[in-house]
Amino acid sequence: MRKYAVLVIVIVGSCLLFLTGYNQQDKKVHMPDMLSFAHRGASSVAPENTRAAFAKGVELQADFLECDVHLSKDGELVIMHDDRVDRTTNASGYISDFTLAELRQLDVGSTYSKEFAGESIMTLDELLEEFYHQVGLLIELKNPQAYPGIEEKVATLLLGYEDVSSIILQSFDVESMRKMHELLPDLQVGVLIRPTDSFLSAKSIEDLTSFATFINFNVSFINKRMVDKIHAQGGKVLVWSKKDKRLLAKAHKYGVDGVITDFSNWPTNDPIYLVQE
Ligand code: G3P
Ligand code: CA
């Protein structure tokens, strides 16, 4: 009798574990039509927004490299995430208080790992020169309102590229992206939606999709209904997450057009992606 009780407990327990998602086995998800974007480069395996992370993104066969852009004190377009250099370099202060020559002296690799000591900051110009012909580029303008004229500088740089179909500009700043669209109508732009603003009314979807090709969300703040509404207006949706291990599975479930990921759960070389649930 005791044997049967134990057996029943084991079977019921296993069913509960399975139903509650505690089954930690890798699951394969097929996502043939979904684009992959290496968030700040392949930033789970190399220091974010560096040449090394971008090269790794290409090696891992990302469709696009995502990067963040600011202006230096002397007006150069430079690649870094934060508006201060403290977290990712051996120095302290606002990027906008350093000239490009000064920024080039900073080590952007060592805070991640000694293995990357000596990595130096890239300009947007250099990123385009080195990677434009290899992979798509998703360029985020960080706090563009703090850098008057940044849209014109980016437009002038991109005018040097006849075909901009493999480049996307994005920002949390809607007006900045509206301006980019006016400056370069052929360029695809994306609007990043803050988690606190994730419910978009029909009117705002209509307004955003009138100039933006992409409307991009943190994966934890979107649902399939919102994706369907944006698709119905002709827009596309990208989702990102830094921590959610279910990013790829959710993206697949919601039917979005691409995932922006640091590649901690990175796709294999074929369209079958591995994801932990
Ligand atoms: O591309 C989406 C994502 O990059 C936005 O967040 O903070 O990583 O720039 P953040
Ligand atoms: Ca970004």
Catalytic entry in 39, 70, 133, 181:
39
Structure tokens belonging to residue 7 = 């057996």
Q: Are 7 and 15 in contact (CB under 8 A)?
A: no
pLDDT band at 276 (very low <50, low <70, confident <90, very high): very low
CA distance 171 to 187: 14
Cβ contacts of 105-111, under 8 Å, gap ≥ 24: 108/47, 108/49, 108/50, 108/80, 109/47, 109/50, 109/52, 111/47, 111/87
User: How confident is the model over 42-51, as a mean pLDDT?
Assistant: 95
Which residue of 49, 68, 138 sits with most ligand 1 atoms within 8 Å of its CB, as the best mutation to test the pocket? 68
181 has pLDDT over 90: yes
CA distance 210 to 159: 23
Catalytic entry in 30, 70, 81, 252:
81
Quote the pLDDT of residue 85: 98
CA distance 55 to 254: 30
**pLDDT over 70 for what percent of the chain?**
83
18 has pLDDT over 80: no
Which residue of 192, 197, 242 sits with most ligand 1 atoms within 8 Å of its CB, as the best mutation to test the pocket? 192
Homologous superfamily (CATH) of 31-274 is: Phosphatidylinositol (PI) phosphodiesterase (3.20.20.190)
Q: Are 246 and 261 in contact (CB under 8 A)?
A: no
Ligand nearest to the CA of 261: 1
Nearest-CA residue for ligand 1 atom 2 is 240
CA distances from 195 to 1, 104, 160, 171, 253 (A): 54, 34, 35, 14, 19
pTM: 0.87
- Crossing angle of helices 124-131 and 51-59, rounded to 10°: 30
Ligand 1 shell residues, CB under 6 Å: 39, 66, 68, 81, 140, 192, 240, 260
Quote the pLDDT of residue 277: 37
CA 245 to centroid of ligand 1, rounded, Å: 16
Mean pLDDT, the chain, rounded, equals 88
Q: Would residue 39 show up in a list of annotated catalytic residues for this protein?
A: yes
- Phi and psi torsions of 220, nearest 5°: -80, -10
25 has pLDDT over 80: no
Ligand nearest to the CA of 69: 2
CA 66 to centroid of ligand 2, rounded, Å: 6
Quote the pLDDT of residue 193: 98
User: How confident is the model over 75-86, as a mean pLDDT?
Assistant: 98
Q: What is the pLDDT of residues 87-125, one digit of tens each?
A: 999 999 999 999 999 999 999 999 999 999 999 999 999
Question: Which of these ranges, 21-25, 218-222, 231-235, has the smallest mean pLDDT?
Answer: 21-25
pLDDT band at 252 (very low <50, low <70, confident <90, very high): confident
